[in-house]
Chain A
Amino acid sequence: MAVETRVMNCIMCPMGCELTVTIEDGVVTNVTGNTCPRGPIYAKNEVTAPKRMLTSTVAIEGGVLPLLPVVSADVLPKERILDCACYLRGVKVQAPVKTGDVIVENILGLGVNIIASRDMELHEQ
C-alpha cells in the first residue's frame, strides 16, 4: 500500500488553511489543518480531479461598458479552464443583462453554466 502525505493550501476561501493530506493508493484517507468542512472536499478533489472557479469577461453590445464580467456558477475541471477562457473570448451578448443571467449554458459540455456577475443596463447612445 503506497502511503503519501501531501501538504497543500486550501483555496476555498482567503484563509488558505494549510492542509496535511494522507493519500493511500491514490485515495485521500485523512485531512487535517482545515478550519471548516470545505477543506477536506477541496483536498479530495485536488488529489483526484482538481477543480477551479472561472471568472472572465465576454463582449457585450449596447451596454454602458463594452465588457460584461462573468463567473462560472460552479467549479470546472482545472485542466479545461484555459479552453473555457478561450471559448468565452468569442462570446458576445446583448444588453440589458441582470446579475445571475445565464450567459453560456453548459460550457463546453462540462455541465456548468457561466453567469453574469453584474447588471449591465442598456446604454442610450
Chain B
Amino acid sequence: MEFVKSADVVVIGGGIVGTAVLRELSKYDLKCVLVEKEPDVALGTTKANSAILHAGFDAPTGSLKAITNVRGNKLYHELENELDLDIKWTGSLVAATTDEEMQTLQELMARGRKNGVEGLQILSREEVIEQEPNLTTVKGALWAPSAGVCWPFGAAIAFAECAVQNGAEVIRDCKVLGFVKENGKIVGVETSKGVIAAKYVVNAAGVYADEIAKLAGDDTFTITPRKGEYILFDKTACSSLVYGVVFPCPTKKSKGILVCTTTHGNTFIGPNANEQDSKEDHAVTTEGMNEIMASARKLIPNLPMGAAITEFAGLRAVSSTGDFIIGVSDKVENLYNAAGMQSPGLTSAPAVGELIAKEIARVSGAAAKADFKAALPKKKAFIRMTASEQAAKIAENKLYGRVICRCETITEGEIVEAINSPVGARTVDGVKRRTRAGMGRCQGGFCGPRVTQILARELNISIPEVLKERADSNMFYEKYPVDGGEE
C-alpha cells in the first residue's frame, strides 16, 4: 500500500465540529490532518444555521447534548478572546404567548437548572417588552443570560487556523472514498487525493457521518437530513424585529422558528424543520418561506418583508439514536464518531473536541505540547476600527483605503488578507464568508465583479477561472470569438 501521507489522526469533515476537534488534537504531540471534501471548510451545516450559542436548558438532562452544550457555552466564553471570535452575549428569550406555554417555561427552567445552566429567570410581559418592544403577543419569557450569537464560519476558520499554527494540516477538495483496514482496525484513509496512513480517525462528516461510518465498518446509526430554511433581513429592519435571540416555546421536533439578530446586526427568521431524503438538496421553497413567515408572525405580527435581503437553507444531521454520537465506535476500535450534531451542535463543538481529543491522547499516550500557541492574531474589521486605527492601517497598507463592498464597508486589504491567510479563501463565497463582502443589501451586485478580479489577481488565475464555490460554478466567461455564438 502506497501512502501519500502519514498521520496519527485523520479528522474527516471541516465543519465546526471537525475543526474544533482538530484544534483540541493539535494541543498534543499528534500529527493531525483534516480532510474536507468541499473546496472550503464550513460549507455544510456550519454554513447555514442559527448561529446561536445556546444556554443549554433545552436538551434532556444527562444527555450528551445537554452536557456538551453547557460545557461548550463555557468554552466559547473562554475562547472568545483567545481566538478573537465574533460573539455577542445577548442572552436568549423563550417567549410564551399562552398560559400553557408559560407552564412550559417553568419546565424549561427546571431542566436548565438541572443541566447546570446559570442565571435562568422568568420575565414578566413588561420586562420582556422593555427588551424587545416588538414582541407584542408575549405573556412572559424565560431569560437565559449565558446564551449568545456567534459567527459560525469565523469560528470554524479560527479553530482551523489555530490548529494549523500548531502543526495540523487542513486539506480541502479531499473526499473520503474508503478505508484500508487490517485486522479490523483502520490503517489508512482512501481519499480523492490518495491514501493517508492513519492510526486514529475522527468522523465529523455532518450529514454524511453515517455513510463514512459505514465505509469503515460501523453501521450502528443513520443520519437523516432535516432542512431548515431562513429569511434574512437588512440591518435597518432590526428595530422592527428583535435585538437579541427570541425562541418560541419549543415543540417535540425542534426549538421552533425563531427571530434572532446576528453578530452583524442582521435579523433572521427561521428555521423550519422538514426531514428529507436528499443530503444535497438545499433549495429554499415557497412552502418553507410561508411556514417561516406564518410562525414568526405569531411573535411579531408586522414582519417587514420588504426588508428581506436573502434566503438560504441548511441541513441538520439528525441521528437515529436521538442524541449526539460521540466517542469510540462500537464496531471499529480506532474510529471516533462525532455525529448527529444537530442543535446544539454549534455550541457543543468545542466540548466535543475536548472529549474526543482527550480520549485519543489517552489511548495513544501522546503528551500535551508545552508550546501550544493558543491565541490567534487579532484581526479587526475596518468598519469596527476607530478613525485613528483606520488611518494607521491605511498608512501601513494602501489597500485598506479602497472600499470594495459598499454595503458592509469591507476594504480590499481585508479581502486580500482573507485570501492569503493559513486557511484562506479561494472562491467568491469563500471571501464572502470570511469578510462579509457580498452579504449586504445589494448581495454582491456591486462587489461581486470586484471580488472576482481581486481573486484572479491574488490566485494568479484568469477571471473566467474564478469560481463562486465548487467546480463548475464559474462566475464569468470569455466573450465569443468573431465567428462564435449560441446560434
Contacts and interface: CB of A to CB of B under 8 A. Distances in A.
Direct touching of A and B (C-beta under 8 Å): yes
A87 B483 CA distance: 8
Contacts of B479: 89
B165 to A, nearest CB: 38
B363 interface: no
A65 to B, nearest CB: 12
A104 B480 CA distance: 20
A89 B482 CA distance: 5
A87 B481 CA distance: 9
Contacts of B482: 86-87, 89-90
Contacts of B480: 89
Contacts of A90: 481-482
Interface residues of B, number: 6
B377 interface: no
A22 B483 CA distance: 40
Contacts of A89: 479-482
A87 B485 CA distance: 12
A87 B484 CA distance: 11
B464 to A, nearest CB: 14
Contacts, number: 10
Contact size range, A = under 10
Nearest to A57: B479
Contacts of A87: 482
A86 B480 CA distance: 9
Contacts of B485: 86
A90 B479 CA distance: 10
Nearest to B480: A89
A64 B141 CA distance: 60
A88 B51 CA distance: 51
A89 B483 CA distance: 9
Contacts of B483: 86
Nearest to B485: A86
Nearest to A87: B482
A90 B481 CA distance: 7
B424 to A, nearest CB: 27
Interface string A104-122: 0000000000000000000
A92 B479 CA distance: 14
A22 to B, nearest CB: 35
Interface in A49-95: 86-87, 89-90
A90 B482 CA distance: 5
A84 B485 CA distance: 14
Interface in B265-321: none
A84 to B, nearest CB: 11
A86 B479 CA distance: 11
Interface in B433-487: 479-483, 485
Nearest to B479: A89
Contacts of B481: 89-90
B438 to A, nearest CB: 23
A90 B483 CA distance: 9
Interface string B311-348: 00000000000000000000000000000000000000
A70 B480 CA distance: 18
Contacts of A86: 482-483, 485
A83 to B, nearest CB: 10
A82 B130 CA distance: 65
A90 B485 CA distance: 13
A120 B483 CA distance: 27
Nearest to A67: B479
A81 to B, nearest CB: 13
Interface of A: 86-87, 89-90
4 tightest A-B contacts by CB?
A90-B482, A89-B482, A86-B482, A89-B479
10 contacts: A86-B482, A86-B483, A86-B485, A87-B482, A89-B479, A89-B480, A89-B481, A89-B482, A90-B481, A90-B482
Interface of B: 479-483, 485
Given A86-B483, A89-B480, A89-B481, 7 more contacts: A86-B482, A86-B485, A87-B482, A89-B479, A89-B482, A90-B481, A90-B482
